Structure 1
Amino acid sequence: MDFVEWMRSAGLSEKSANSYSGAIQGRLTNWALAHGLTTKPIAEIPDLTEFVTLSEQLRRTPEFKDRNETGNGMYAAALSNYQKYLQALDSSRDAKPDEYGPHQKEVAKIEAESSGPFDPKGQEDARARVLREVVRRRGQQKFRKALIGAYDGRCAITGCSVIPLLEAAHITPYMGPETNAITNGLLLRADLHTLWDLGLIAVEPRTRTVWVSPEVSDPTYQGLSGASLMLPLDLAQWPSIAALEQQWSLAHTKPARG
C-alpha cells in the first residue's frame, strides 16, 4: 500500500491525500536536498528512524517555517501523516498472523471473550485461576510425576533438568484420564510445551527427530530442528508412534485462510 492509498484508508479526503503526497514528493524533498539533509527523495525513505530524524531537521529550516505558517500547517501535517504511514508499515511487518499455528480462530474467539474491562475486585479469583492454570499446564500430578521418572527429570527435546520448568505434555490432546498414558506423554520445557500444543514443534514419527516450523524464526528454536528425541530407558515407556503421527499430521495441516 502506497502513501496515498494509506491516507485514503485512514479516512483522509482525496484532496488532502493528494496535497500531502505532493508536498512530500515536491517542496519538502527539495528543501531537504537543498540543505543536505538527505540524498534521496523523502518518499524513498522506508526507515522510520531515518525519517523521524530528517523530519525534525526539516522543521527547523527557514523555508519550512515560512511556508508551513502561510499554508496553515499543511507541510507539518504532510510530515506527520508520512510518519504515521511508516509506523503502519512497521506494524504490518512485525505482525505474526500465524503465531498460534493451526489454532488462529480458536485463539481469536478466546481473546474476544476475555476482552472485558479490568476489574480489580476479581484479582483474588484471578490468582486462584493462575495457580490452577499452572497446575493444569504442568499436567496432572500423577501423570507428570510418571513422566519425570521416565525421562529422568529432563526435557525430552533439550535435556533441561530444571524441574519447575518441566511440564507433562500430551502428545495427542487430553481427552480424559485414559489419555494420561506414559506413551501419550512427553516431558517438555514450558515454552516447548506451548509450541507443541500449537503445532509449531513436532516429532517425525519414524525417525523420532524434532521438527520446528519455519514460522518459528528464532534461531534458538530452529537449532533444535533435526535433533533426536530423548527417550526413556524403558522401551515400554517410549512415545506411541500412532500418537506422534497424529501430532505430526496436525503440525503439517494449515487452516484455511479467510
Structure 2
Amino acid sequence: MSDTSNFDWYISPADRFSYETQFSKCSNGDDDCEITLPQLDPIFHQSRLQTEDFLQIWQLVDIKYQQSINKSQFIYFMHILTSRRRGRPLPVGLPLNIKEEFLKENQIASSLYIRPSVNVRDVGASANKDINELQMELVQLELDASAAHKESQMASQRLKELCVAKEEIEGMAAYVKSHEQALEVEVDALRKSVDSQSGVASAMDSTRVRDLISKIAMDKQVLELLLAQLKDDQDAANLSLAI
C-alpha cells in the first residue's frame, strides 16, 4: 500500500463528472441517497480487480462502517479504484480533510453495524442472494476482523516499547538527580569561596556559580520534557488498546 501523503488525491473536473454520473446510475438519479456494496456489483465486474482490493477500497471510504456510502464517498471510491486499475498501490488511509468532509456530510450517529434480526422472509431473501454478493460480504467480515487484530497487535507492541522507554527515562532521571546533587554541593562550595574571597578570583567564582545554576535548570527542563512526552505516549497507547 502507498503512504497517504504519496497518493495523488487530486480529482480532475472531467473525472469528477464521470464519477457523479456513475453514482446517479447506481442511485437511480437520487444524489442525496446512499448506496450499498451490493449495488456496486456491476462496477466490481467491470473493474476486473481482485475481490480483496475492491473491498479494501470500500473500507477506506466507509469510515463509519455503515455499509453504505454517499455521493462524496463514492467519488473518492471511484478515484482510488481507477488509480488501482492503473497499477498504483492503494493508500493506507484517507487524509484528515477528506475524513472531516465525510463526517460532516454523514449525520448518522451510529458507528457500528447492527445486523437486523432474521425472520422467515429474511431467510428466503438470503437464499436468493447472488453468490458473488455473499462472498464479498464474507471477505469484508474477514478483513474487518484482520484489521482489528492488527491494530491490537500494534498497540500492544507500542505499549511494550513505551515500558522500555519509561525504564530508560527513569534511569536518566536518577542520573540527573544524582548529577544535580553533585552540582549543588559544588555550588555551595563555590559560594563559600566567593564569600571568603574578593577581586578577580571572586568574580570568576561568581561566574562559575551562575553557570552551574544555569546547567541545573537546563537539566531539569530536559527531564520534565522527557517525562511529559512519555506520559503523552502512554496515554495514546492506552487509548489505542481501549478502542
TM-score under structure 2 normalisation?
0.27
Structure 1 or 2: more helix by fraction? 2
Q: Using CA pairs below 8 Å that are at least 6 residues apart, which structure has the higher relative contact order?
A: 2
Structure 1 or 2: more strand by fraction? 1
TM-score under structure 1 normalisation?
0.26
